[in-house]
Structure 1
Amino acid sequence: MKKLERMLNLVAALLATERPLSRQDLRGKLPHGSYSDNDESFRRTFERDKDELRSMGLPLSVENVPGTDPPLDGYRIRPGDYEADLPALTPAELAALHLASNLVRLDDVPRSDPFWQLGGVAQSDSPQVGAVADVPADDVIRLLMSATAERRIVRFTYNTNSRVVEPHRLVFTRGRWYLAGHDQGPNEARQFRVDRIGGPVDCSEGDAFVRPEDPVDVSIEPAWRYGEDGTLIARLLVHERHIPWVSDFLGPTGVVEHLADGSAIFEEPVSNRAAFRSFVLTFLDGAEVLGPEELRSDIINWLEPLR
């Protein structure tokens, strides 16, 4: 289990308990695999986690576990210790933000930035905690963060087209930033890869919008399912050695036919031909587009100059 996930689970357990929990009690409340099965390894890791929580400024309380003789150290985070910090967030939400803001570092964002202040910062004499993830960020990301939080319309160029977007979600996943929201031009939900935004992003103070109850979320489905090329249903022949991976990636319902030689035919919606072409070519001779002819010809024509 990754460190960030373990630490989030640990903070959740410390917040949820109404009485102090011993080290072993906490071990039992976290998902299996959070800590090593070896007692000494568990003890060392737990002590490091505990020290890091303190160094981040989380109010970890140490008390005697009731009914233990000799007394055992127990741990918890009292929700009341957070209530005055940021009333707009629940104590659990604030603790999670606090932890994430210490373990995930946005490139080029100084510690004085309001993003970090939301989660609280360690005192100046506290030891620095190393981040477990570096997330790229630049002026465009910071502007989109502000626009999303403040519900302000953004304008930018994407695929040479001018866009006017009500930003609902800004998410970093699979190594890239994605923006999801309502595109006012076609009047529909859209998703944009931020690194493909061309030129500056405009975000005017007066252009506010009302966020819907069901905002557009970022989908992590394959990129070729989102685009403006017009949707085609591709028939993809996959060699048997690749079937387990493709089936897991696209979903088992994509298989429409199993052939006698062990290969299989998948059907997959394609709205971004370039993205789908890149996917198919990763299999070299292990996959072939059977149809429709328009999509098959598109890949053949792209490959011809490379012969």
Structure 2
Amino acid sequence: MTTHHGHDHKQGHASGACKGHDGHEGRSRGVTVGTDQRWLTAALVLITGFMAVEVVVGVIANSTALMADAAHMLTDSASIVLALIAMRLAARPARGHFTFGLKRAEILSAQANGLTLLLLGAWLTYEAIGKLIAPPEVDGGLMLATALIGIVVNVIAGWCISKANRTSLNVEGAYQHIRNDLFAFIGTAVAALVIVTTGFARADGVATLVVVALMVKAGLGLVRDSGRILLEAAPAGTDPDALGDLMAARPHVVEIHDLHVWTITSDQPALSAHVMVEPDGDCHAVRRDLEHLLAEGHGIDHATIQVDHAPAAEGHCRDPHGPVHRETAHAN
């Protein structure tokens, strides 16, 4: 099997060539904008309302932990606003130079959410180390009560976002922010309880470092997954080589050239390929067979397949007394 990488651009075909075809031309997937926006907006109202209260309480209690939680909630609000904006952009129809629309806006939003989690984790690490070195005096009781209310608020906000389309990396990014904020409040509540019962003020810094570890894990996951899409990598779990071999093994297929598999946006894989069919084969039937294989077996509904007859002079037609020559190209 010979492997070619990159795209070949050719003008004109043999007289027996069949027209290329996009298996789902004009079909629009998009996100469920109306429903998702309502759930995200409900979470945004809860988060911003409690954040304002927490800032006031943090100043009164002299608690840097509560102020850090409030700062985290500020990034939560920003992530939800960013997600809402990205949803509107992604829902716009394709036009002009943007032939796929603005669906990748949600991937940029997910990337931003992942980066902010990592940056916030770095800042909280600095704050936690400072608290371990010189623990401040705080009102443990007020800190505990506020943290417990924060847990309830974040549980409700997280439930709201979980009702939205979490297969979208955009929504998942906002959800990860809320989930880590919930862990932060749980850590703050535990630290406050320890402070109230034992007077061990460094518990706040220890709990913060545990939360930071969870934030870094979530942030790296978002950056990795969104980065794969931005770099046009094959969808996770898809082996382009194995997929190309499977397509080349279908009846009447002689060669597969310029096979590319990538992801347009969350949960929307795409494929393009140049397929050579036996001179006496029905290229339209082959195309339909490949489209069915990709859609039903691999979840690839957006397939652009150019199908041509292989000229007999090039030796690519089926030899009844010998093996079929198949040449498969893989990229990404």
Please indicate the TM-score interval, normalised by the length of the shorter structure.
under 0.3
Larger Rg: 2
The structure, 1 or 2, with the larger RCO (C-alpha pairs under 8 Å, 6+ apart) is: 2
**When you count strand as a share of all residues, which structure comes out higher?**
1
Structure 2 length-normalised TM? 0.22
**When you count helix as a share of all residues, which structure comes out higher?**
2
